[in-house]
Structure 1
Amino acid sequence: MEAGRSELLRPPASAGRATFLELFFDLAFVVALSRVSQRFAGLNDDTGWALAAGFGRTLLLFMALWLIWSHTAWITSRYEPEQPVIQAVVVGTMFAGLVMAVALPRAMEERALPFTVAYLMVMVVRPLVVAAALRGHPRRMVPLRLAAWSTASAPLWLAGALGPEHLRTPLWAAALAVDYLAWALGWPVPRLGASVVGRWRIAGTHLADRYQQMFLIALGESILIIGVVFSGTDYSGERAAAFTVAFATSALLWRIYFHRAGLLLTEALDQAARPGQLGAASERTHLVIVLSVLVSSVGYELVIDHPYGPPQVSWLLFVVGGPMLFLVARMRLDYEIFGQIFHPKVIGFVALLLVTPALARSERMVGLSVVAGVLALVALLDALRSRGRPVERPASPIGREASEGPVSEA
């Protein structure tokens, strides 16, 4: 029986690439990310506190979805995706993610309960299934720890879903904080201690694949929005120009992400003495990167709809704020891969920061064009910096040393 349970673990000789099952699983999150964008786009006419509150509520829902997705990525990085039990877990999670996606546009209103139930089924029931499949194996304690912490936060989720609507956001924010804190601390429990994620043995190639794929899914969502919005409005030269600039902006985000650091993520994880530590740091970075792409995609929608609409705080948040957030996260990725931050991203961020006051008084099309110009400058400076030089190799300061204890299978 022990040997059979060990078959659930991903073998050291595994190729590590993402499987078709995981790509199938991602289809539910294509829907989910589109619903997140829909909620963000609904904030177009809001200002002041209403805009901040609406953005915060949508961010909360996105982070709940991200926790489901990232936990699944780590499960398939530690366990063999070809095993029937793991396949059942992934498909079940996909269904729950689809329920959350369907409920998400009104999750803060009348669809709060299905959103919560689907989330708790993944956070509480899924680890119990994995633990049962691993019975007798030392690694079973990790999913049991996760289930214990998720059970502790479950009353907050349910109280938010069933209680007064005005308490939903603070209750869910508290519950989500517990879930993320537990993830960061390794779900510590009395006597058993914690299972620190940074010490896990993982398939670095696989985890890098999953992060890169989720970034591309977010970019795909932005391309879908560009196409759908342009095809659904009356044709005009102004909208065609906005469509072109929006596409160019998405292409520049792709270029900036994959130039060196994004492309070398796999190699960096493979070389790290503690791939789990670097993988955990990269998970947080990609959360921000994916969020920034979604926020930027809403900006494309607003500009294509009304290229020369009046200045509003909401459009500035999406058109300029999204790319600025992307550059910050991309700087962090440079540090994680190379141990340094390169000046083109810093120049781009400072440039957008300096022009923001002027853009607040400009038409939307002007704002998006300036953003595209700044991103093009970043891409050009990146290319010039690398021209004629040896290709940089990963030199991550994260997970380089094994001084904090051995890599763990727990």
Structure 2
Amino acid sequence: MTTARWPELLRGREGELLLDLVYVFALTRLSQRLIEDFTTDRRIVLPEAGQTALLLLALWLVWIHAAWVTSCFDPRQPAIQLMVVWVMFGSMIMAVALPHAFGPRGLVFAVTYVAIQCGKPLFLLLASPHERHNPARTLSWAAVSAVPWLAGAALFPQSPARGVLWTLAIALDYTGLALGWPIPGLGRTRMKEWMIAGEHLAERYQQFIIITLGETILLTGLTFATEFTPDRVLPTVVSFASTVLLWRIYFHRAGIVLPAVLEAAPRPARLGQSGTYTHLVMVTGILTTGVGHALVIDQPLERDPTWLAVIFGGPALFLAGRSRLEYDVFARVSASRVVGLLALAALTPAMLRLPPTIPASTAAIVLAGVAVRDAIREWKHPREEPSPPP
């Protein structure tokens, strides 16, 4: 990204950059909740982690809808700018309520989420009055999913039924996204057929990866700062190195050329829709990796086998998502990604009873191996081109 391109990138996009700053706060709150899932004795890890995953899915859906809208419409339109501000404020309220969303702040979280999802189609009607069908479809599906969202929050303040209803609600939201929000008489509108600014959407994906990596560094620093002791130095160094390696692996080839590939594709929305899910997997992997390192920094001698779910699971998720992104761009998957995934799986049994610093360091070594293999491949094939877009 050259200096000459900055004015073009920022023109009308300032609100999106502010939205990303709100998501730094939101992701930090999410990470802190996941840390509590693994450290609070009175909780059962699997159901609590499932709740945190559901909240991540809700936050991601809010952000990805906004990214697609600003890739389809001129962000300088007042209605689109108001929509971004609406999403920004709502996301901040959701983040505030997030740690206790399955407790006393559930109604605040649900009402805010529903208000965002139902409000966005109304702003689109203001931005493009002649295009009524698409906003009508999304508004209809948002109204339907609002029922279990609000019922779960209002009727079941402290009950597993809230989790069941909210799972149904988020499933409806993602089903509508995948199917194109079909409505009798109006049909459906598939995202992969939309006319979008492909380069802008790819840059939005890149920016979200960057803020997720930034949140990981923030979490590492905050955890280390609480108690500045020698036994925390090595886990902190490993955490920082792992974050740098994740950044390097993402932007090696496929991540860096993604904007050009989307811009050149005759139907960029098709590849953009795949990016919606691949980046969700990678973001989840980065977040869980950061949580795993925060646990190790905080308690470097604690031997809890459940921590391997984030210490090894985070890098594994990231490599899986990154492999799919590489396939979308180059129509192949590097052997180093597959070897990295297999290595993490094979090493897991041996790590169950070891101090957590060793598994964290081992996962970092696996990521380093992937990054080194990338560097060697780049040295041997410096001008590899993406596959022709469909």
Superposition TM-score, scaled by structure 2 size = 0.94
Residue 92 of structure 1 corresponds to 86
Q: 1:306 aligns with which of 295, 299, 312?
A: 299
Q: Which amino acid aligns with 2:354?
A: S
Pair 1:357-2:365 in alignment = no
Q: CA deviation at 1:325?
A: 0.8
Structure 1 residues 34-113: aligned runs within 5 Å: 34-45=28-39, 50-113=44-107
Classify 1:181/1:16 alpha carbon distance in 2 versus 1 (closer, same or farther; 3 Å).
farther
Residue 128 of structure 1 corresponds to 122
Q: CA deviation at 1:46?
A: 6.2
Q: What SS class does the counterpart of residue 44 from structure 2 fall into? A: helix
Aligned residues: 381
Q: 2: distance between equivalents of 1:209 and 1:17?
A: 12
Q: CA deviation at 1:313?
A: 2.7
Classify 1:47/1:325 alpha carbon distance in 2 versus 1 (closer, same or farther; 3 Å).
farther
Residue 250 of structure 1 corresponds to 243
Residue 135 of structure 2 corresponds to 143
Classify 1:20/1:129 alpha carbon distance in 2 versus 1 (closer, same or farther; 3 Å).
closer
Q: Which amino acid aligns with 1:281?
A: S
Q: 1: distance between equivalents of 2:102 and 2:309?
A: 22
Q: Which amino acid aligns with 1:309?
A: E
Q: 1:316 aligns with which of 293, 308, 312?
A: 308
Residue 3 of structure 1 corresponds to none
Structure 1 residues 342-381: aligned runs within 5 Å: 342-381=334-373
Q: What SS class does the counterpart of residue 191 from structure 1 fall into? A: coil
Pair 1:233-2:227 in alignment = yes
Q: 1:382 aligns with which of 361, 365, 374?
A: 374
Q: Which amino acid aligns with 1:122?
A: I
Q: CA deviation at 1:47?
A: 8.6
Residue 176 of structure 1 corresponds to 170
Q: Which amino acid aligns with 1:207?
A: L
Percentage of identical aligned residues = 43
Classify 1:105/1:291 alpha carbon distance in 2 versus 1 (closer, same or farther; 3 Å).
same
Q: Conserved in 2, the CA contact under 8 Å of 1:245 and 1:372?
A: yes
Q: 1:274 aligns with which of 267, 271, 274?
A: 267
Q: 2: distance between equivalents of 1:131 and 1:211?
A: 25
Q: Which has the higher helix share?
A: 2
Q: 2:283 aligns with which of 290, 306, 310?
A: 290
Q: 1: distance between equivalents of 2:321 and 2:126?
A: 38
RMSD (Å) for aligned C-alpha atoms: 1.7
- Structure number with greater CO (CA < 8 Å, separation at least 6) is 1
Residue 211 of structure 1 corresponds to 205
Q: Conserved in 1, the CA contact under 8 Å of 2:82 and 2:123?
A: no
Q: CA deviation at 1:55?
A: 0.9
Q: What SS class does the counterpart of residue 380 from structure 2 fall into? A: coil
Q: 1: distance between equivalents of 2:42 and 2:261?
A: 42
Superposition TM-score, scaled by structure 1 size = 0.90
Task: Tell me the alpha carbon deviations over residues 261-306 of structure 1, each in whole angstroms, 9 at most, x when there is no partner.
Answer: 1111111101222100100001110011111111011111111112
Q: 2: distance between equivalents of 1:72 and 1:47?
A: 38
Q: Conserved in 1, the CA contact under 8 Å of 2:336 and 2:370?
A: yes
Q: 2: distance between equivalents of 1:32 and 1:231?
A: 21
Q: CA deviation at 1:250?
A: 0.5
Q: Conserved in 2, the CA contact under 8 Å of 1:47 and 1:313?
A: no
Q: CA deviation at 1:49?
A: 9.1
Moved more, 266-275 or 205-214: 266-275
